[in-house]
Amino acid sequence: MKILYHHRIASKDGQFVHVEEIIKALESQGHEVMLVGPSVHRDTEFGHDGGMASKLKALLPKAAYEFMEFGYCAVVAARLIKAVKDFQPDVIYERYNLFQPVGVMLAKYFDIPIMLEVNAPLKDEREKFYGNLGLPKLAEWTEKYCWKNADVVMPVTNVLADIVRSKNVPDERISVIHNGVQEKVLESFRDKDTQLTDQITIGFSGFMHLTCGVEMAIESIAELNDPRLRLLCVGDGNVLQSLKEKANALGVTSQVEFTGLVERDAIFDYVKQFDIALQPDVTDYASPLKMFEYMAAKTLVVAPSKPNIREILDDDCAVLFDPNSKYAFKKSLTVALESIEQKNEMRERVYKKMWDKGFTWDENARRIANLAEMLLARTKTALLSKQG
């Protein structure tokens, strides 16, 4: 099939990973994909924050910035109309963004099925993390319009699917597709030996902030006073310096390593070293990318017992803790460290779950293609019916 993939991402982060991996998986299965999106996304290094868009968001009044976002529809429309005419796609695949209904509108105008990937309820998310919106009614309208008029909506968790359903989107037009890893990456860990050596590595990857769990991991290493323990932190963050100072103050600097920001292609060079992996918190509706990477690398995952996490993990293959208890994460990490030999089989089971549940980009691409074929057949039937 010919798939027109549209997004509005300017930053190069976890969002970028999702876009890139889905496109690569679709192309590897023989589909032709045309990407329509901001050029800054393609031309920058991993970790880029979006450049001018981020600066404008910080400087402008909320209503002014949101009006600019909505006005960007004109740019998007011009690009999409040209792409539709030049590429003649079978389907449009769009990564949903707030104040951006034009993709769905044009799909309807050209009678092209549109598939909408939803990673967050962006109106609610912005209000929660950034305060009241400047144009809340417009935000509400664009979100409802996109979700209700897409031919299929693809939230990344069942928790998020329930939010989509709450906007009166029929269940038959919702298909949950979690994140994952490449099958070739998963295959590369098939024969990984999980037997412990003289060193036990606790691992964390991602952005380090006050609630990332690294601080408590440093405290646990100091309290256990076990020279076998090592903490490997992969990534950057706004508390990196304070974490280094904490490790120094507690006398465990030699047991803690901070890599800084690493290129996306090098992530598994570090994650494969993890024995225990930290997922101390997660947004209630998210499908955390790094957790699938932890699972693929046969780590003992320590994660909160939230509904979206339990869609992926259970007590048989991971150490899950009560997210409402202040000290539960640290206690669970300590228990995991003290009993890791007894919990070693969990690492094999969590890896097996990746295959059993199809948590791979390749499987996601197959599901997306199957949905697209179904929508395309339905559209052709409807057009023939009109003509008849």
Structure tokens at 370: 């199957």
**CB-CB neighbours of 180 under 10 Å:** 28
Q: Please name every residue paired with 234 in a beta bridge, in sequence order, or none if there are none.
A: 205
Residue 322, both tokens: 């009560």
The confidence score (pLDDT) of residue 43 equals: 53
Distance of CA 217 to the CA centre of its chain: 24
Average pLDDT, stretch 103-114?
A: 97
- Does the structure show a pLDDT above 50 at 311? yes
At 384 the pLDDT is: 77
Complete DSSP assignment for 102-120: HHHHHHHHHT--EEEEE-S
Per-residue pLDDT of 281-308, as tens digits, reads 999 999 999 999 999 999 999 999 999 9
Which CATH architecture group holds 2-180+360-387? 3-Layer(aba) Sandwich (3.40)
pTM score, whole prediction: 0.91
Range scoring the smallest mean pLDDT among 10-19, 66-75, 111-120: 10-19
As a whole number, the mean pLDDT across the chain is: 92
The two structure tokens encoding residue 248: 């120094």
Note the pLDDT tens digit of each residue in 354-371: 999 999 999 999 999 999
* Residue 10 confidence (pLDDT): 77
Confidence grade of residue 56 (pLDDT, cut at 50, 70, 90)? confident
For 367, counting Cβ atoms within 10 Å of its Cβ (0-12 exposed, 13-18 middle, 19+ buried), the class is middle
d(CA 233, CA 243): 10
Which range has the worst mean pLDDT, 101-105, 317-321, 334-338? 334-338
Average pLDDT for residues 164-193, to the nearest whole number? 96
Residue 57 pLDDT exceeds 60: yes
Reported as a single tens digit per residue, the pLDDT across 17-32 is 899 999 999 999 999 9
Question: How far, CA to CA in Å, does 80 sit from each of 76, 152, 344?
Answer: 6, 19, 51
For the chain, the structural domain boundaries read 2-180+360-387, 184-357
**Span 339-361, mean pLDDT?**
95
H helices present in the chain, as ranges: 14-28, 39-42, 52-59, 62-71, 73-87, 102-110, 122-130, 136-149, 158-165, 183-188, 214-224, 240-249, 267-271, 289-296, 307-310, 328-338, 344-357, 361-387
What letters, b where the CB count within 10 A reaches 16 and e where it falls short, cover 104-133? Answer: bbbbeeeebbbbbbbbbbbbeebeeeeeeb
Q: Judge whether 113 and 25 are in contact, CB under 8 Å.
A: no
**What pLDDT is attached to residue 54?**
67
Is there a common fold for 2-180+360-387 and 184-357?
Answer: yes
Q: Which of 93, 1, 113 lies closest to 381 in space, CA to CA?
A: 113
pLDDT at 47 over 70: no
| Inter-helix orientation angle 328-338/214-224, to 10° | 50
For the chain, the first-to-last Cα distance in angstroms comes to 26
Tally the residues of the chain.
388
pLDDT (tens digit per residue) in 75-99:
999 999 999 999 999 999 999 999 9
Report the pLDDT value the prediction gives residue 41, as an integer from 0 to 100: 47
- Distance from C-alpha of 110 to C-alpha of 371, rounded to nearest angstrom: 19
Given the candidates 3.90.1150.10, 3.40.640.10, 3.90.1490.10, 3.40.50.2000, the CATH classification of the domain at 184-357 is 3.40.50.2000
| Band (48; pLDDT cuts 50, 70, 90) | very low
- pLDDT for 220-272, tens place per residue? 999 999 999 999 999 999 999 999 999 999 999 999 999 999 988 899 999 99
Task: Note the pLDDT of residue 51.
Answer: 55
Mean pLDDT across the stretch 274-283?
94
Q: What share of the chain has pLDDT > 70, as a percent?
A: 95
pLDDT of residue 250: 97
Percent of the chain with pLDDT over 90: 81
CB within 8 A of 356, min separation 6: which ones? none
Identify the three-state secondary structure at position 80: helix
Distances (CA, A) of 155 to 14, 108, 127, 159, 193: 16, 21, 20, 9, 35
pLDDT of residue 86: 98
The reported pLDDT for the residue numbered 144 is: 97
Tell me phi and psi for residue 360, to 5 degrees.
-135, 155
